[in-house]
Structure 1
């Protein structure tokens, strides 16, 4: 079996439970990135198998069903928030006042270029303004300060790939995680830029990231409380919910986690206000 970069493979030792993209090939092992999950892994060459087109199609169908269900739940909640906004602005539907919305702007920094494209497409579908940047995780702390100054976002998402490595230490030791230390440093830099957690909303983390470290560093939302894998699009749903929630309202943690694919085992956070502001009158061109 000849492997090439970009091939879709699975690991025999894990009963082919997840699909991966081949990122780098070495003499006796390969570096892999999750196809749907934000997980980075190494595997011996004899442990990986190329996934057939038939199995890839079946996997893609299942993945689409999960994503579509999450999107449907999000749209339901967004519709309810819109109806509540209509009621408030029109004084209980007593007037026909038209209004506009200033939705929260997202700076999305992603360690995976393919995931960034998928996430940007979903932000656009949800009507959330976004500025996306692809950076390797280790370079993020060097660049985030200037990006915050340039973009001036309401929400920043710091994500990519991560993994807990049992051979590197105890689960409580942040040094046993591939990229949590870079995510945490980015959060600390973001908090120097804006220390108040309702002035700049921060999501940080990826698969199996050290949740406690990221929250203590200053994140509003982070992964992964149970050190499980998270879906590539989960950060988008959290950031978008904040973007579309009025600054007069709190983001319901239960509801926002319900809309994600990974749920509360993979994601968590603290009480946070929305950032969207309504205005009037509506001016028509």
Structure 2
């Protein structure tokens, strides 16, 4: 079967362990090469056409079910965390339930920049399911550094996500060499520009990176959380689980890194960060007669 753009394929040389979408097919050194984006993993790759196989429905469904099972497990663990956080907040807001005053909560507002429109839609659906206010923008990784300042001025978020596709290429240099990565350099420059705008690590919480990204450079540039310490692949939805924990943690509390990572799909090999304050704020009284639906 001929390979064409937007086909879902696997790589024979890797035992078809990851589902990829074919983004483009080009002539390179006298043979056809396909550019690939992971369907569930934030990985960019290329491969000769002869190494690819169009995945059948049975194989696709099997891998899809595995990923969705992991997603649901992470979502359930996160919901349990949020329930405990809300119970603790209710106890504190009411003086140990002594004063039954109505109160309201304002979770942290997220600006999510994503180099992949399909991933962005998946992430926005999860933000909505969890109940996090978010602005999502599809923006190519190369354009992010020059556009981030304007986005921050316009949206004024509490949390910034800078993600998309990335990959480390051994042929281009050592793992310590930023130039050996597909988009890590652009992510680093975007974080630096954001920090020029908002220097404080607590006034703007930043997650940056994708699969195999240069973790150390992103943290040094000013990200609170980043990928990928062990240069492994991360799941498309991992950034959402990171910022959701931050969004629902009160601003007077500090979040230990493990508390953020434990419910992600990738864990500490693919994600890391520094101790960070939450951004949730509680107020009172809550006046339901003035509340708009959806607020």
Tell whether the structures are fold-level matches, with TM greater than 0.5: yes
Please state how far the C-alpha of 1:252 moved relative to its aligned partner. 2.7
Please state how far the C-alpha of 1:138 moved relative to its aligned partner. 0.6
- Asked if residue 194 in structure 1 is aligned to residue 207 in structure 2, the reply is no
For 1:219, the equivalent position in structure 2 comes to: 223
Deviations 1:23-67 (A, max 9, x none): 101131100000100000000110010000111111111111000
Partner Cα distance (1:252, 1:69) in 2: 21
Please state how far the C-alpha of 1:15 moved relative to its aligned partner. 1.1
For 1:143, the equivalent position in structure 2 comes to: 147
For 2:21, the equivalent position in structure 1 comes to: 21
- What does residue range 31-42 of structure 1 map to in structure 2 within 5 Å? 31-42=35-46
- Asked if residue 134 in structure 1 is aligned to residue 138 in structure 2, the reply is yes
Aligned residue for 2:42, secondary structure, equals: coil
Aligned residue for 2:160, secondary structure, equals: strand
Partner Cα distance (1:200, 1:120) in 2: 20
Aligned residue for 1:38, secondary structure, equals: coil
Please state how far the C-alpha of 1:240 moved relative to its aligned partner. 1.1
2:165 aligned residue (161, 173, 182) = 161
Please state how far the C-alpha of 1:5 moved relative to its aligned partner. 1.4
Q: Structure 1 residue runs of 4+, over 3 Å off?
A: none
Aligned residue for 2:150, secondary structure, equals: helix
Q: What's the Cα RMSD here? A: 0.6
For 1:6, the equivalent position in structure 2 comes to: 6
- Long gaps (5+) in structure 2: 290-295
Deviations 1:135-187 (A, max 9, x none): 11111111111001000000000000000000000010010000000000000
For 1:233, the equivalent position in structure 2 comes to: 237
- What does residue range 264-279 of structure 1 map to in structure 2 within 5 Å? 264-279=268-283
Aligned residue for 1:241, secondary structure, equals: helix
Partner Cα distance (2:62, 2:15) in 1: 16
- Long gaps (5+) in structure 1: none
Deviations 1:185-220 (A, max 9, x none): 000000011101000000000000000000000000
Aligned residue for 2:250, secondary structure, equals: coil
Q: Scaled by the length of structure 1, what TM-score is found?
A: 0.99
Q: Scaled by the length of structure 2, what TM-score is found?
A: 0.96
For 1:243, the equivalent position in structure 2 comes to: 247
Partner Cα distance (1:280, 1:23) in 2: 50
